[in-house]
Amino acid sequence: MEYVSLLMFAVVCIVLLFGYPVAFSLAGTALAFAGVGVATGNFEPMFLSAMPSRLFGIINNQTLLAVPLFVFMGAMLERSKIAENLLNAMAVLFGRFHGGLGISVTLVGMLLAASTGIVGATVVTMGLLSLPTMLKRGYSPVFSTGIICATGTLGQIIPPSIALILLGDVLSNAYQKAQLSMGIFSPKTVSVGDLFAGAVIPGLILVGFYILYCIAVAVIKPELVPSVDSEEILANSNSNSKLGLVFSALIPPLLLMVAVLGSILLGYATPTEAAGVGAVGALMLALWQKQVSRENLTAVLQSTVKITSMIFLILIGASLFSLVFRGFGGEELIRSLFVDMPGGVVGATLIVMVVIFFLGFILDFIEITFVVVPIVAPILLAMGLDPVWLGVMIAINLQTSFLTPPFGFALFYLRGVAPRTVKTSDIYKGVIPFIMMQLLLLLALAFWPSLATWLPEVVYGS
């Protein structure tokens, strides 16, 4: 009967393809299979009795309090024209160079991705703000759409990212479970801060790759990425000088990011406390920009409630799904498949990464984090993998999946806001170089795990 668990997983994927809400699809499928299992005597109903304690654990989880606070921070920065001002400032700094707008989009996308942490929000925002400007200035549609999609997915890996918060919480539980299964009854812990620290160097490497690509295109085919008149951009802004524009647009949000991430990495604050600092800081920036109107505040609060509710409903549905999955013996089946797999831990890790990559075509990072990772992570960690390294690999793998044609989420988001003059084939062609860069980073992490594990060891000594 353990193969029923795999059938249950397949049914969930099919239900999701029909467009049903994720949380209800997970919970409904699990309850349907549990009901049939109880009726046929193949499922022990006592498994469902653990659900109330799981719900209490979700409600009582201090780390997850960071989610609504970071969502509020990102939504407030998005509504307060911070991204628009940043883009103008960067265009003034780099626009006079060939490829300068591409570098500007990369840097602004990095900051915006870190603050929102939601792929769709970043891609849509950057698509609306920068794509018309790039096309108007004579930039190639292929290059423009590629750089926007790629920077929009940086929210998966650049801390403080919501994806890393959720992934860190799940990996923390999986790591303790793995150690207990190995007979270690004083288990080590891994925190969201560890995952943040582990993602810093790979994230910066990826941003560096993108900037080098912009420079390479500017050198090889400068006609695809022409320079722009920075004086014209400055004239259309509210500032009288380049220094004033750069200072007013760049320094405040940069200080906010440093305060949030620095307080976590230096141990002055937990991710939840730092999220509170970020939320208040974003509100202060919006007040400084005179963007805290009743309309904006209402929109930000509504967005925060909707996104947070979606995340927690999915978490509840995934908890029920994992209980029923375990009740049918699915966890033991996965463990036996991994143990017997040729190549040992390397083969098992490769298979998991491939499966997660393809699941990224139909599932968002939230569903994969709450459904797939709790099933496979304890087994992989018990085989000796480092939890921080595994978390960073999963985050970059999902980032690559969301960028890969023809089903990548980022491509759909940009297609929805791009002008009709931009062909879908332009978007597909544009992301190919960035997919290659991300695969190169995954390969580098596979050969040099210290790219992800060195900084957490230095900062936290673990």
**In sequence order, what are the residues at sequence separation of 6 or more whose Cβ sits closer than 8 angstroms to the Cβ of residue 240?**
none
Global pTM reads: 0.81
What is the distance between the alpha carbons of residues 122 and 128, in angstroms, rounded to a whole number? Answer: 10
Q: Do you find a cis peptide bond into 406, omega within 30 degrees of 0? A: yes
* pLDDT at residue number 372: 84
Angle between helices 141-152 and 409-417 (to 10 degrees): 120
Residue 184 DSSP class: -
Per-residue pLDDT of the chain (462 residues; tens, 9 = 90+): 668 888 888 888 788 778 788 788 888 998 999 999 888 888 888 888 888 888 888 788 777 888 888 888 877 877 777 777 777 777 777 777 888 888 888 888 887 766 655 666 678 777 877 888 888 888 899 999 999 989 888 878 888 777 888 888 889 888 888 888 777 767 777 888 889 889 999 999 999 999 999 999 999 998 888 887 666 666 655 566 666 667 777 788 778 878 887 888 777 888 888 888 888 988 888 888 777 788 888 988 998 888 888 878 888 888 888 888 888 887 778 777 777 777 778 888 898 898 888 887 777 777 788 888 888 888 888 888 899 999 999 999 988 888 888 777 788 778 877 888 888 889 899 999 999 999 999 999 999 999 999 998 888 765
Helices (H), 95-191: 100-116, 119-136, 141-152, 162-181
What is the distance between the alpha carbons of residues 404 and 421, in angstroms, rounded to a whole number? Answer: 22
The answer to whether residues 145 and 101 touch, using CB atoms and an 8 Å cutoff, is no
* pLDDT at residue number 239: 60
